[in-house]
Amino acid sequence: MSKNKSSAILSSNDEQSFESQKNSQKQSSKDSEESFHPWIKPDSKCHLTNGMLKLHYEILDFCDFIRLNDEEKNLREKTYNFIKTTIEGKYAEYSCILYGSFKTDLSLPDSDIDILIVLKEGKEEESQKNKILDEALNKIYNLLNSTKAFSYLEKINAKVPIIKCTYKETNINVDISFFRKNGFSAVKTIEKVIDCFPEIKPLMLVIKYTLRQRQLNEIFKGGVSSFIIFSLLYYYIADYRKKVLDDIKKGKKETELTLGHFLVGFFNFYGFEFNYEKVGISIRNGGFLYKRTDEGKHLLSIENFQDINQDMGKSCFKFKKVIETFKFARDSLYYPTHSPVVSYLNGFIFPDDTLRKRAAIS
């Protein structure tokens, strides 16, 4: 894969980070050699081309391989229906709404499902009262506990209280949150954006899986949430498209827009180019950067479009590791270890139980 002007020579620190992750991958399993790429089928278009277009088809192959199959979707629907029926059957004042990655078709095979509890029409204003929230948390926790249907059930009284549980019959993990309608409206925003920018969906799945393998995909553990990944992607792709359109208007040669170009560009932009100390990201009004006024107290600044006073980046205390992962992924794409390249993605997506199980049933 050819380099462009942004592929600067690696610094010693970058090289150490690259080698450290590379060595970790090699030690994880004998399967971590060049031969492990079960998402590429014998009849894949990957085999017919090279470079960015090859990467484009491999991304599509990976997404077909990793996205939920019908059985996995049915298990999640069954879990949701049990919880919804249980809660709404007991408490008429509550409604259960499905939201999050499963709702937007961006789930990974081991992803949980997100359920939002809301008060029915006419009582929304009461949901802001802590007493009402605490009451709902305790009532629903006790109700679910009484069913004996969960192998794991925990009530977490954090700033944003949630119930985490695992439904025995399906072994599906669930996060239940309360009265946060912004989570549900975020689903509508994601769906509208994906209609305009369909490339976001396959890129999201690759990036999410890359971070999930390194345990950097959960906000409460200091990583990045799916919505933050979406926001980073949305800003990058919208900005990239604007630049391409400007070039076309100026009479410059039209730029190729493959998934390969977007993925390499994303990792390069957020791994090497983005000035985290000086600017933050907003996805309002088509996406823009704003000047930071907090002196970079936390590495990532990313505005919550539903509440512009909230900085979603504050919780991402492991974002430095996220950046290192982006650098490593870009370097893996720029400097593949084998020639000819059969798979670009297996330079940074390594063998794990999920991929092996999927390979066995596909």
Instruction: Give 237-271 pLDDT, tens digit per residue.
Output: 999 988 888 888 887 776 678 999 999 999 999 99
Instruction: Residue 89: give its domain's CATH number.
Output: 3.30.460.10
Mean pLDDT for the chain overall = 86
**What average pLDDT does this structure show over 147-161?**
89
| CA-CA-CA-CA dihedral for 123, 127, 128, 129, to nearest 10 | 100
Domain identity same for 256 and 346: yes
Rounded Cα distance, 147 and 164, in Å: 15
Query: What are the tens digits of pLDDT across the range 265-280?
Result: 999 999 999 999 999 9
Q: How many domains does the chain fold into?
A: 2
pLDDT of residue 1: 45
- List 178's β-bridge partners, or say none: 117
What is the pLDDT confidence band of residue 197, given thresholds at 50, 70 and 90? very high
* Cα(324)–Cα(292) distance, integer angstroms: 22
Domain that holds residue 114: 70-187
Do 160 and 108 lie in one domain? The reply is yes
pLDDT for res 10: 33
β-pair partners for 98: 115
Residues 85 and 150 in one domain: yes
Judge whether 7 lies within some domain. Answer: no
Residues 121 and 218 in one domain: no
Of 32, 43, 40, the closest CA to residue 60 belongs to 40
